[in-house]
Amino acid sequence: MPTQHLFISWAPYATDPGTLERRAARPGHRAVLEPLIASGIVKLAGPLWNTEADLSWPYVEHEKFGSVIVYQGESLESVRRIIETEPFWIEGVWDRERLQLHPMVNLAYLTRKYNAPGIAVRDARVRYARHPTFDQSYVLTSHLCHEQSRILQVQR
């Protein structure tokens, strides 16, 4: 089985006229996410609210300003392909120019699993690369994931 990595997507909502109406794509968005959640590909997903938002139920639609989704996948490209099948991508709910996709390491999980606080932060070196698809996004290379694996092997 290929190595699986975590990727975090920050997808701000588009702000052009008609964006609020395009959010009617939400049932399709949920229909795409549900099997991804059930299969473990999506680890965390949800909308973000303005800091002044009233968080009591029911939520006010206009106080949402974007989505955050954490995916598990083989590569940045495999996750990007999933994002491009999303109704929020297709319908233009997400601002395609500002959407960012970054590899990540779950340091909380690693710290708990190996009982070694701070090893990843202390020893991992991070390099940045320009990603061709999401022009405004600087993406961590997989070097961090490989470096983390090396660190954990030394710690064992």
Nearest Cα residue to 95 out of 136, 129, 62: 136
The model's pTM is: 0.69
Secondary structure E strands in 2-140: 5-12, 42-49, 64-73, 100-104, 128-130, 138-140
Q: Where are the domains of the chain?
A: 5-155
CA–centroid distance for 66 within its chain: 12
Alpha carbon distance 130, 132 (integer Å): 6
48: which DSSP letter? E
Compare 26 and 106 and report the one with higher pLDDT: 26
Alpha carbon distance 69, 116 (integer Å): 27
Percent of the chain with pLDDT over 90: 47
CATH architecture of 5-155: 2-Layer Sandwich (3.30)
pLDDT in tens, 17-53: 988 888 889 999 999 999 999 999 999 999 888 888 7
Q: Which two tokens stand for residue 145?
A: 């994931």
pLDDT in tens, 132-145: 433 333 333 333 44
Which of the residue ranges 43-47, 58-62, 100-104, 128-132 would you say has the lowest mean pLDDT?
A: 128-132
Alpha carbon distance 120, 149 (integer Å): 9
Alpha carbon distance 145, 151 (integer Å): 10
Q: Which two tokens stand for residue 24?
A: 């009617």
Residue with tokens 């099997």: 35
Can you tell me the mean pLDDT for 74-86?
96
**Looking only at Cα atoms, what is the longest distance across the chain?**
55
pLDDT in tens, 5-24: 999 999 999 999 988 888 88
